[in-house]
Amino acid sequence: KAGVTQTPRYLIKTRGQQVTLSCSPISGHRSVSWYQQTPGQGLQFLFEYFSETQRNKGNFPGRFSGRQFSNSRSEMNVSTLELGDSALYLCASSLFALDGNQPQHFGDGTRLSIL
């Protein structure tokens, strides 16, 4: 069974640009969550999508947005990139909506570098 697939693996952008990251969950999984991981802040929750609806959102500015398609694939968009957005962006999928008893399975992430 294929795992969570994230594309691209690496991305270099400059300040002010925007970026779209893609995530394909494990087949049959309907919930997709996005996280930002940095050495200083650790793992931070961005948002969760289930059945094409955003269920939960973390404390990130509106520049960070996402969506989920009917096949459960998800995209995350960051507009007006800042140097501080440099991070590893992780996508995690789970069978059902997050409820504390749903293991989340992660992809290997997209490493975004802002110049």
Smallest distance from the beta carbon of 61 to other proteins, in angstroms? Answer: 17
Across 67-106, b (16+ Cβ under 10 Å) vs e yields bbeeebbbbbebeebeeebbbebbbbbbeebbeeebebeb
Residue 64's CB: how many other CB atoms inside 10 A? 18
C-beta of residue 24 within 8 angstroms of C-beta of residue 5: yes
Nearer to other proteins, 45 or 79 (CB): 45
Q: Which of 66/109 has CB closer to other proteins?
A: 109
Residue number, 11 or 97, with CB nearest to other proteins = 97
**Cβ 99 to other proteins shortest distance, Å:** 6
Could you tell me the smallest distance in angstroms from the CB atom of residue 39 to other proteins? Answer: 12
Bridge partner list, 42 = 38
Give me the residues that bind other proteins (CB under 8 A), please: 4, 6, 33, 35, 42-45, 48, 55-56, 58, 90, 92, 97-109
